[in-house]
Amino acid sequence: MCGITGIHGRGDSAALTATHNMTAALAHRGPDAEGHWTDEQQVVLGHRRLSILDTSEGANQPMESACGRYVIAFNGEVYNYVELRTELTDYPFRTSGDTEVVLAALKAWGTDALSRFNGMFAFALWDRQEECLLLARDRMGIKPLYLFQSDNQLLWASEVRALLASERIPRRLDRGGLVDFLRYQTVHGPGTLIEGVEMLPAGHLLWADDNEVTVEPWWDAATAGRTHAEAGEPWTYAAAPAQQRVRELLMDSVRLRMRSDVPFGAFLSGGIDSSAVVALMTEVGDRRVSTFNVAFQEDAFDESQYARVIAEKFNTEHHEIRLSVDDFLEAVPDALAATDHPSGDGPNTYVVSQATKKAGITVALSGLGGDELFAGYPVFKRTVELLEKRWAMAWPKGLRRLAGAAYRTARPSMAADKLATLLAGDALDPASTYPVSRRVLLEPDVRRLTQLDAPPDSVATWCRSHLDVKPGLDLPVLSRISLAEMHTYMQHVLLRDTDQMSMAHALEVRVPFLDHRLVETALAIADPIKWPNTPKELLTQALGERLPREIIDRPKMGFTLPWDVWMRGPLADTCHAGLDALTRRDILNPAAVQDLWTGFESGRVTWSRVWTLVALGQWIDRHGLE
């Protein structure tokens, strides 16, 4: 796990200095080594290293191939590097880690090598002979890669702040990105909050030479899942084969992600997903598993008893890190400062990562992705229920609007606002209902805040093109919601937060549920098999007796904290400073921001809608954006 930077187009001393500045801004991601490579004409590659596999200096980067033709700067892990190495018998390996295997595989197979990689990665490969640059990003977008192209130059980096450190990017807020953020507490790729800065999309690669820059996909989740579904294997429609396949793939995924030359462990919340990972780590590993649970002294927020059940069942070396409210509040300013691209949920991940790193762990496995693959979120159930109520759309639209307004008056809440929005729409299919379910601020609020003609809704646009039932798109309903979750909330909130907040402490987080083989399998399985009675039932049945019923049947809590109380009390100054940054810079309408805060103080507006703006304002102020 590392951080990468680079510039293509000018390899002069000024470009080298800019790349050094970018790489220095990523020191937190890679405290073990720093390296640069340039041909002094066309390209500069930069790298910060967090040593995980082959910790010797010989494995530092950028790394040249044995023949000298290729140079790579690599971020992430390719877990099946051991198996790939046995196929590359003609390559004279000098190291024992995965980076040189990636380099050798690209030399031998070209971009076909990408489909053989099982892992999370973003890399830059320079071909000295063809004078051509290749950038690529993993299938699920676990590792980020940001781009900026201008004046015949292409800059890239693992974080936005590194691009800004080059001093070659105007610090201007992107208005489209701003509206997307207000709607969904994040910006969906390829856009960002900074004008001209984009993300290389997940599962895509980029070619660049002196003449052009081209971007193309090399993997697509929907296509991969549909291919399996159309094959008609028994595991796509029968319970027992589906359970066996899920169990075998998840077990192998965990096995691969336990490869490490440094201490590793697992996050253990006591929920189904993290407990499943720990159970399988114990089964496939050859040493006692270290588990980490961040517990709160206040019983209302403490779910540590569930983590202890799993720790005792599997005899893990359990670390219960107990925090007080004061401990958490003290970390909030640092979490805001560590934020590379804002979201409404970063501080939670920051605190868990900080505590795990302090315990001496460099690699941690996480249960992230289980809810998205196996229908664990309420949005899955709500979508199915709405589909069953499609008859209501036969009513005249005026009548539906009246019904929605009446419900909103009787039960004022964000949920009522969303229902009224859906009733005023044209359909209750997943492409129409999903975007509304994930909205933080609805369109009237966005218009009041920005006073702009809002650009098209990015999530709605994506859903219409990917989730509408059409010839060739025959994935089950729950799988279509999984696709939406993976493309939106998971990729651009959960994974982005996990990367930036864990790497703020030089902690690598691995996510076994996002092994592409398991993702493709889950998308191909029929709804009645995936969810015959309860959420995530296929997953729990696949695990058999490994998980006790008290874990399977426990209420879903999540990492819930009293943000509304804190924001009116100890975090009030932080909130006002963030909101003031937005109005002082004429980014948002002061009257609308004040109305939102007043609504929050009265209990009419939920804390998350306000905290999203606070995080945004703090971030904009820190980076001097206009």
CATH of the domain at 541: 3.40.50.620
3-state DSSP assignment of residue 64: strand
Instruction: Report the alpha-carbon distance of residue 606 to residue 31 in Å, rounded.
Output: 39
Instruction: Flag whether 599 is in a domain.
Output: yes
Q: Do 42 and 7 sit in the same domain of this protein?
A: yes
Last residue of a domain, one of 186, 219, 252: 219
Identify whether 558 is part of a domain.
Answer: no
Higher-confidence residue of 197 and 451: namely: 197
| Cα dihedral: 91, 95, 99, 103 (round 10) | -20
* Burial class of residue 558 in the structure, from the number of CB atoms within 10 Å of its CB (0-12 exposed, 13-18 middle, 19+ buried): exposed
CA dist 354 → 336, 345, 361, 369, 501 (Å) = 14, 15, 10, 21, 9
The residue range of the domain holding 610 is 563-623
Q: Give the pLDDT band (50/70/90) at residue 217.
A: very high
pLDDT at 463 over 80: yes
Say yes or no: 73 and 177 in one domain.
yes
Asked if 78 and 169 sit in the same domain, the reply is yes
Q: What is the mean pLDDT of residues 36-48?
A: 93
Tell whether 439 and 571 lie within a shared domain: no
CB 508 within 8 A of CB 500: no
Tell whether 382 and 368 lie within a shared domain: no
387 plus 504 within the same structural domain? no
Co-location of 468 and 593 in the same domain:
no
- Domain assignment present for residue 488? The answer is yes
- Residue 149: both structure tokens together: 């192209």
pLDDT at 129 over 90: yes
Residue 289 tokens, joined: 């598993």
H-helix or E-strand containing 592? helix 590-602
Q: How far apart are CA 315 and CA 186, in angstroms?
A: 39
Q: Residues 487-524: pLDDT tens digits? A: 999 999 999 999 999 999 999 999 999 999 999 999 99
For 583-626, what is each residue's pLDDT tens digit? 999 999 999 999 999 999 998 888 989 999 999 999 999 999 98
498 and 603: one domain? no
Residue with tokens 């191909």, as numbered in its chain: 524
Considering the domain architecture, whether residues 203 and 239 belong to the same structural domain is answered as no
Check whether residue 540 and residue 591 sit in a common domain.
no
- Look up the CATH number of the domain holding residue 199: 3.60.20.10
Q: What is the pLDDT of residue 471?
A: 46
The pTM score is 0.94
- Long-range contacts of range 192-195, CB-CB < 8 Å, 24 or more positions apart? 192/146, 192/160, 192/341, 193/160, 193/341, 193/342, 193/616, 193/619, 193/620, 193/625, 194/160, 194/163, 194/164, 194/169, 194/625, 195/170
Identify the three-state secondary structure at position 34: strand
**Which residues make beta-bridge pairs with 135?**
124, 206
Residue where one domain finishes, among candidates 219, 234, 267: 219
Distance CA 26, CA 251 (A): 34
Q: Provide the 8-state DSSP code for 624.
A: T
Say whether pLDDT at 469 is over 60.
Answer: no
Tokens linked to 558: 């999540």
Shared domain for 215 and 339, answered yes or no, is no
Domain boundary among 525, 552, 579: 552
The verdict on 181 and 327 lying in the same domain is no
Over range 1-24, report the average pLDDT: 89
Residue 300 within any structural domain of the chain: yes
Residues of the chain above pLDDT 90, percent:
68
Residue 557 lies in a domain: no
pLDDT in tens, 517-564: 999 999 999 999 998 888 899 999 999 999 999 999 887 665 567 888
Task: Work out how many domains the chain is built from and give that number.
Answer: 4
538 found inside a domain: yes
How far apart are alpha carbons 257 and 264 in whole angstroms? 10
